[in-house]
């Protein structure tokens, strides 16, 4: 049934009716019409529609004008046989073709009728195709806009959901810290480089986790060529724990740094972007000792 509807809607039946098909296509249509009543009925409907269109749009010439035309184009000995104006002529036929029938000239009405059908079909197909194309273009444009909007909304929703999930996890971690004695809160105070500088580091002594609290960070903004670097002082030796920027990370409250098993203090220096192997002591901006 679906294949039959696709065949009917393919447009080949309209072309068959106006005679604009190849011999193979004509044979295919006629075989389908014999096997499928729906195809046959569709062909009849198309023929009727085109004949109706031709009838409604036929040009009706005045009888007097017909006589004048025939009087001009026919020889003297044939003028007496010109069609009587009182004779009714089928409005779908060309007037000259009708006169030819009376005067014995071969009937051309079938060809003219076929031309009417062809013209009607072309006009109908053009109108339908133009309307369908315009509608499809608009629908496609609207669909693209809706898809883009949905994609934007989905991406924004995913970002918000991820942000909220991360925030909740980090807030929960901070909420659990007081009940876990292994969590140490180290407050770093400013040095002579900047006495007002400050920040907070959380260190889990057994899990070795180290986190920087971005909401409690009070460091001068660093430029694109420099970054802050966190150090752990282990038995008097600095151990690199990673780099970070002073600008608060809006996606996180806690920034995870490198893990450390033991430390007596934490310090922050301003280094070239990417960090240094050893701290630049004159660029140390904050430091804090681990309390027991």
Kindly report, residue by residue over 168-219, the tens digit of the pLDDT.
Answer: 777 778 778 888 899 999 999 999 999 999 999 999 999 999 999 988 889 9
Of the candidates 229, 175, 221, the residue with the CA atom closest to the CA atom of residue 202 = 175
Between the alpha carbon of residue 48 and those of residues 12, 45, 55, 187, the distances in Å are 16, 5, 10, 92
Query: How far is 41 from 194, CA to CA, in rounded Å?
Result: 93
Mean of pLDDT over the chain: 78
pLDDT for res 64: 54
When comparing pLDDT for 30 and 54, which is higher? 30
Is the distance from CB of 208 to CB of 260 less than 8 angstroms? yes
Query: How far is 58 from 41, CA to CA, in rounded Å?
Result: 26
DSSP designation for 218: B
DSSP designation for 208: -
pLDDT for res 87: 43
pLDDT for res 140: 76
When comparing pLDDT for 121 and 12, which is higher? 12
Q: How many residues does the chain have?
A: 292
Query: How far is 253 from 89, CA to CA, in rounded Å?
Result: 93
List, for residues 122-146, the tens digit of each pLDDT value.
777 788 878 777 777 777 777 777 7
Helix or strand holding residue 116 (H, E): helix 109-176
Query: Which residues does 77 contact at the CB level (< 8 Å), separation at least 6?
Result: none
pLDDT for res 243: 95
Query: Which residues does 96 contact at the CB level (< 8 Å), separation at least 6?
Result: 66, 69, 70
User: Given a cut of 70, is residue 69 above it in pLDDT?
Assistant: no
Burial of 115 (0-12, 13-18, 19+ CB in 10 A): middle
DSSP designation for 21: S
């Amino acid at each position: 049934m679906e294949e039959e509807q696709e065949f009917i809607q393919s447009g080949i039946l309209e072309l068959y009716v106006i005679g604009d098909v190849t011999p193979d296509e004509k044979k295919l249509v006629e075989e389908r019409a014999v096997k499928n009543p729906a195809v046959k009925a569709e062909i009849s409907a198309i023929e009727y529609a085109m004949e109706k269109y031709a009838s409604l749009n036929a040009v009706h010439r005045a009888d007097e004008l017909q006589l004048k035309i025939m009087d001009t184009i026919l020889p003297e000995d044939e003028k007496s046989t010109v069609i009587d104006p009182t004779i009714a002529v089928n409005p779908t036929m060309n007037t000259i073709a009708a006169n030819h029938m009376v005067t014995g000239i071969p009937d051309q009405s079938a060809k003219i009728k076929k031309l009417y059908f062809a013209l009607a079909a072309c006009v109908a197909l053009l109108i339908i195709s133009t309307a369908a194309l315009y509608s499809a273009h608009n629908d496609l444009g609207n669909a693209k806009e809706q898809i883009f909007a949905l994609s934007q909304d989905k991406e924004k929703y995913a970002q918000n959901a991820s942000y909220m999930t991360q925030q909740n996890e980090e807030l929960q971690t901070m909420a659990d810290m007081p009940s876990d004695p292994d969590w140490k809160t180290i407050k770093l105070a400013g040095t002579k480089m900047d006495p007002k500088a400050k920040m907070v580091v959380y260190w889990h002594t057994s899990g070795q986790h180290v986190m920087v609290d971005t909401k409690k960070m009070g460091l001068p903004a660093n430029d694109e060529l420099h970054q802050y670097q966190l150090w752990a002082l282990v038995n008097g030796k600095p151990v690199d724990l990673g780099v970070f920027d002073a600008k608060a990370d809006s996606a996180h409250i806690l920034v995870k740094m490198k893990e450390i098993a033991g430390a007596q203090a934490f310090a922050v220096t301003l280094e070239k972007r990417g960090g240094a192997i050893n701290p630049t002591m004159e660029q140390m901006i904050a430091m804090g000792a681990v309390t027991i």
